[in-house]
Amino acid sequence: MRTLPRATMYAGLYFTDQDGHPLALRSAQKAEAWQLPGGNVDHGDVTPFAAAVRECREETGIAFTGPPSLLLTHFLGPGSGWPCAKVGFVFDGGVLTAGELDRIVVDPAEHSGWLVQPLPEWRKTMSSRLFARIAALAEARGTGRAALLTEPGDAM
């Protein structure tokens, strides 16, 4: 029906190391692109949190067992590269020890590696769009208040 809204959804987990430095994965398709562990909510995923946990396990081997703690709701308007709006939910994955980080195994079809570094270094390393998400996540975790981030699409 034409009156039904069209939107897709993604979900992810935000992890840091013991020094508070965020974790991101390097895209296998675009070497300059960095992503949080997560992905699209698929048909059959019960909740966005379940999708985040599933995607994280598939992409990193991390079997997250913590509770759902929402840090960020993210809205992206439709654009020339994607005709639908997209809504994202990013949950707090917590702090990973050095040993847990060393056990990360990325799916080579999706990611070529991972990196943990201080927030100011991420500003230089990743796109401004993803850095805005990482910065909002760091602030949300630090304040204990979930963030809302909106990005208008091309047509807005």
- Give residue-wise pLDDT tens across range 51-96: 999 999 999 999 999 999 999 999 998 887 778 889 999 999 999 9
All structural domains of the chain, each given as residue ranges with its CATH number in brackets, are 7-151 (3.90.79.10)
Here the tokens at position 8 are 């897709």
pTM exceeds 0.85 for this model: yes
DSSP assigned state of 63 = -
Q: Which residues contact 15 (CB under 8 A, 6 or more apart)?
A: 22, 23, 37, 62, 93, 94, 95, 96
pLDDT bracket for residue 154 (50, 70, 90): low
CB atoms inside a 10 Å sphere around CB 62: 21
Which of 109, 89, 86, 92 minimizes the C-alpha distance to 25? Answer: 109
Q: In which band, very low, low, confident or very high, does the pLDDT at 5 lie, cut at 50, 70 and 90?
A: low
